Chains A and B, each alone.
Chain A
Amino acid sequence: MGDNRVLLSLRGVKTYFPVRKGVFRRTVAHVKAVDGVDLDVYEGETLGLVGESGCGKSTLGRSILQLTETSGGEIWYDSGEGRKNLCTISRREMNWARRKMQIVFQDPHSSLNPAFTVFGSLQDPLRKFGIKSRVERRKIVGDLLESVNMRREYMDRYPHELSGGQRQRIGIARALCVDPALVVCDEAVSALDVSIRAQVLNLLLELKKQRSLTYLFISHDLSVVEYVSDRIAVMYLGKIVELADSDVLYAEARHPYTQALLSAIPVVDPERKTRRIVLEGDVPSPVNPPSGCPFHPRCRYRMDRCTTEVPLLRKYVKNGRDHFVSCHLAEE
């Protein structure tokens, strides 16, 4: 992956949400949804982002697209003609950037406007990006529908006339209507029936090949992420704890959380009934993250150092492949 260009580069990205209490709405604490993330996304890859609730993966996806304002750090987008920091660019430049990055959402029931037909929902973005004639817009929308394996006539249907899988495909068509380079899939298949999931996943892979897209695939379902991703980043409480190629991650996970996560997933193989690692305690809240390593309260290998010192994300190279881990134990 190293020979491909870096499309997106995150350095120290933080997104905090203030918690306001009292009559005067004073800020008493912060929800540290994203707490210092460094990440490089290479052009043409699918980077999987996994973690459980509260880990910040969805917030990170939205922060990259500037749908949520970041509280610190830099997000560099390199289109091939120079880099721009998405957190600081002007509004006009942001409009240009919006064409390059899009998002596919989770919930097929609320991802489309119930008051508009499919064409109605899709034509305004096209209009904004310069397609003035209605005839041309209809042609483009029709082409988009066909590219997601739906018939053109569906553009005059309302969302309530479509099934969950169909709505999700329209969500994908919508993301592609401005011809982006980067697509963030935020739990794009999690709300679908199991038998429809495979359809949509295969569609996403096909589209990626056809249009040379780069995906940031966010999900809590590691089995799905492993199927689609080239590399996988594991997040816990707003930080990335491990990042490696997906086969390396599965075979040689080095962070205790990743190991626990992998063994917790129920596998469709009745012979493998035993589960090895069951974590104690609950997924903690990002309002008051633990000191030092965020995982230390639940970690079996916890040492004294872990309670005070935040481990850095360090790179280890094995067989020419990069493997990032933030764990004091891994360092030793």
Chain B
Amino acid sequence: MMGTMENDTLVTVRNLKIFIYTDNRCNKAVNDVSLSIRKGKTLCVVGESGCGKSITASSIMRLLPELGRIEEGEIIYHGEKKEIRIDQLEPKGRVMRSLRGSQLSMVFQDPMTALNPVYTIGFQIMESLLYHMTLTRPEMRKRTLALLKDMGVPIPEQRMYEYPHQLSGGMRQRAMIAMAMACDPKVLIADEPTTALDVTIQAQVFDLMKELQRKHNTAIMLITHDMGVVAEMADDVVVMYMGNIVEKGTVDEVFRTPRHPYTVNLLRSIPVLGRGRDQKLNPIRGSTPDPYDRPKGCQFAPRCDYATAVCQEKMPPEEVVDTTHLVRCWNHGKVSSNGR
């Protein structure tokens, strides 16, 4: 607990630990994560499979799988009137349910499985309105139409009465965003919303999200594995690896002067459009460890070129590189980010 709470922070996550218990094993999927989501800004959480980014997002919405549990830490929602400790709420309780949809909402990766196939999309959007707001039927219909129009859905009067399978992938994702934005939430959490979509459609969806942010001052937490998306969309970035945040800061700080070996290597191993065949891709050696057989100390040490003895013993604490730029590395001072 340090410093004053800035009044434009909507969600504070502090020292969060989430363990998943499957097959009678304990997987420390999220192991001490702290981040904050600011009003009107986009926070991108980037990492590869197994890093815990999706679980972190789900935990803010208290939508963890049955065998997952928040072990320690705090998730605080800074509401207009008071602060709410989300981690202490009953996941299916009244308070959490009133938060979901109206203050915090979520957009998922695969719209085909996230939308209910047997109800029209108009119905699904109106459900959210019905639960959180007190409007009459005609008012709800009008608002739904306006929402769909805002999302760039052509002929919304007709689309309202269509079923998810009648829409294309991009349209379905827009419908899902419409559902999420129906009650004008303060925070929109998007878990890999465009991974299943084509690149030209992805461009449309991100344009839309940026537009919504501008109009409604919505905070966006965007989960992705694509560094390009982060560069385009993020204001703040959090890089995760095997359950820890290894680096966080503004997008300029993290991309221009990355300080964690993982971030540096990741940026070096991605082909960049326009650099052609002469670019050198330097893959990160080795592979991600078995989550049930984690290395002691820093999780990235076995694959790290800068690893020293202390790295294999203890997990590095969060150290400040610059005011908003933090990194978890014993040797971050030695990490050079040139070569890009």
Contact = CB atoms under 8 A, between A and B. Distances in A.
Indicate if A touches B (C-beta under 8 A): yes
Interface of A: 52-53, 163, 165-166, 193-199, 201-202, 220, 222-224, 226-230, 246-247, 250, 260-270, 272-273, 275, 278-279, 282-283
A167 to B, nearest CB: 11
Contacts of A261: 199-200
Interface in B191-206: 198-204, 206
The 8 closest A-B pairs by CB, nearest first: A266-B228, A198-B283, A52-B198, A227-B271, A198-B269, A264-B203, A199-B283, A266-B232
B236 to A, nearest CB: 12
Contacts of A220: 198-199
Contact of B204 (A228, A229, A279): A279
A268 B263 CA distance: 12
Contacts of B287: 163, 165-166, 196
B203 A279 contact: yes
A198 B207 contact: no
A222 B226 CA distance: 14
B176 interface: no
Contacts of A264: 199-200, 202-203
A166 B288 CA distance: 12
A267 B265 contact: no
A261 B226 CA distance: 17
Given A202-B281, A250-B273, A282 B231 contact: no
Contact of B199 (A52, A201, A269): A52
Given A222-B273, A265-B273, A268-B231, A283 B198 contact: yes
User: Which one of A163, A227, A261, A272 has the greatest number of beta carbons of chain B within 10 Å?
Assistant: A227
B123 interface: no
B299 to A, nearest CB: 13
Contacts of A262: 273
Interface in B88-127: none
Interface stretch (B128-136, B142-150, B177-185, B251-259): B251-259
B308 interface: no
B269 A246 contact: no
Nearest to B254: A270
Contacts of B274: 226, 250, 267
Interface in B20-39: none
- Name B's interface SS: helix
B283 A283 contact: no
B252 to A, nearest CB: 6
B227 interface: yes
Contact of A265 (B228, B281, B283): B228
Give the interface centre of A195, A222, A262 by most chain B CB atoms within 10 Å.
Answer: A195
B170 interface: yes
Interface of B: 48-49, 168-171, 198-204, 206-207, 225-233, 251-252, 255-256, 265-267, 269-277, 279, 281-284, 287-288
Contact of B170 (A163, A263, A270, A282): A282
A193 B49 contact: yes
Given A194-B270, A197-B269, A275-B203, A268 B228 contact: yes
Given A165-B287, A227-B279, A283-B168, A268 B270 contact: yes
Contacts of B201: 52, 282-283
A270 B271 contact: no
Contacts of A268: 227-228, 230-231, 255, 267, 270, 272
B200 A267 contact: no
A163 B229 CA distance: 26
Nearest to B262: A195
Contacts of B170: 282-283
Given A194-B266, A197-B269, A247-B276, A202 B232 contact: no
A244 B277 CA distance: 14
Contacts of B230: 268
28 contacts: A163-B288, A193-B49, A195-B266, A195-B284, A198-B269, A198-B283, A199-B284, A201-B271, A202-B283, A250-B273, A261-B200, A262-B273, A264-B199, A264-B200, A265-B199, A266-B206, A267-B231, A267-B232, A267-B273, A268-B227, A268-B228, A268-B230, A273-B231, A275-B203, A279-B200, A279-B203, A282-B169, A282-B170
B225 A193 contact: yes
A93 B7 CA distance: 74
A262 B228 CA distance: 13
A226 B270 CA distance: 12
A279 to B, nearest CB: 5
A263 B199 CA distance: 10
Nearest to A274: B232
Nearest to A195: B284
Contacts of B273: 222-223, 226, 250, 262, 265, 267
Contacts of B206: 266
B200 A193 contact: no
Contact of A53 (B171, B198, B266, B267): B198
A270 B272 CA distance: 13
A224 B228 contact: no
B228 A282 contact: no
B280 to A, nearest CB: 9
A193 B225 CA distance: 8
Given A201-B281, A230-B277, A282-B170, 8 more contacts: A52-B201, A194-B226, A194-B227, A194-B266, A226-B276, A266-B228, A275-B203, A283-B200
